[in-house]
Every structure is written in structure tokens, then in C-alpha cells.
Chains A and B, each alone.
Chain A
């Protein structure tokens, strides 16, 4: 199936741990994104990569580090996890940099719970 897939779907971990979330798209898109959805459902962009190059880096703690080994993958690594990192993280992709004209295709999300 063509899609944006994220793993894991659920992640429960203790404060201070380091964890990674993986994202892969097989749509042939050039641009990938990470969004954070908080407990109030508010969605905020974190990062965007175009052909492995970082193009958006919003105000995100440097404990969060995205890595794009190729244009089909965008992983998110989080160091020293804090309680406030608990959220649903969505990966998305779009057909070209001017994503406004096409919108995004979203993954199903990774629910991160820090205890």
C-alpha cells in the first residue's frame, strides 16, 4: 500500500530516556515533516526536510533531532525525554516543496507517553 508509515504506534518510556520514531513514505514525495499534536489536539510543525535537506526548524528544544537518510525516510530522535514531550507525533509528506498546492499525506501517528 502507498502510504506514510510510522513506527512505533505507541511508545511508553521513562523520563530521561532516549527514543526514536521512524517514518517512511513510498509516495515518491520530496518533502517530509514532523508535527506534534498536544493533549488539546493542537498541531504544531516541528521540522521539514526536502530531499534530505532541513528547510523548516521551528522553535523546538535541541533534544529533538530529525534525521533523513534519504528522501523517503525522516526519523525523529528525542534525547532526555521529559513529561512535557508526551504527545502524538505525526509524520507527513508532500509532493513538492510548494506543499500548499497539494496538501500533506499524514501517517497514523505515534503516541508518546513519558512517565
Chain B
């Protein structure tokens, strides 16, 4: 079975500073990787995903994540955060032919002015 570990439960960061959210996964088979964002009192929204091909994937709002197979990681980064990026971020993994998403414990990003 696959598992996901998000190493930081909370990351405080100042506005316009960079942020990195760490995600490591464990699986014996090929996986797909996802980052979801949950704004306060809302459902989860897909931020970006890695299926295959280029190991660097980007979202439309400036986030990027890099798949590193040797380190079994899929860290999320943004070079300059905004107040509006304050949210809970979830890393998730699915086996390539499966239908179940397994989530990490989440990382709360608090952007301070």
C-alpha cells in the first residue's frame, strides 16, 4: 500500500517570501502525485499533478512541484507567496492504475504581512 508523509504540519511565512512544502511518498509501484489546496471552510481543489514526463509541474498561480523518484519526493514550492495563499495544502498519491487517493496529513501555510 502507498503512503504519504508531509514533514511540516505548519509553515509560517512572510508575504513575498518563498515557501517550500515537503512531501515524501512510499509505494512499491508507479504512482501519480498530486497537490491539493484547501482554503478555510472550503473543499479541496486540485493545485497540480504529476503523471509522467517532465518532472517539474506548474500551476496557474505560481506554484511548482518537482517529482524526484530517487528520493520519493514531490515537494511544492512558490518563489513569492501572497496573503491569499494562506490555506491547508495536501499532498496525495495514487497508484498508476488505481482509483484511491491517499493523502498526507496536510501542511498549514500561514502567510503574514
Interface residues of chain A, those whose CB is within 8 Å of chain B, are 4, 31, 40-45, 48, 50, 55-56, 90, 92, 94, 97-101, 103-109
Contacts and interface: CB of A to CB of B under 8 A. Distances in A.
B99 to A, nearest CB: 5
Interface of B: 31-32, 34, 36, 38, 42-46, 49, 51, 88, 90, 94-103, 105-106, 108
Contacts, number: 70
B6 to A, nearest CB: 10
A114 to B, nearest CB: 19
Contacts of B106: 41-43
A43 B90 contact: yes
Decide if the interface of chain B is mainly helix, strand, loop or mixed.
Answer: strand
A61 B90 CA distance: 26
B46 A100 contact: no
Nearest to B90: A43
A41 B101 contact: no
A97 B99 contact: yes
Given A31-B99, A50-B99, A101 B105 contact: no
A51 B102 CA distance: 21
A41 B39 CA distance: 12
B99 A55 contact: yes
Contacts of B46: 103-105
Contact of A98 (B34, B44, B99, B103): B99
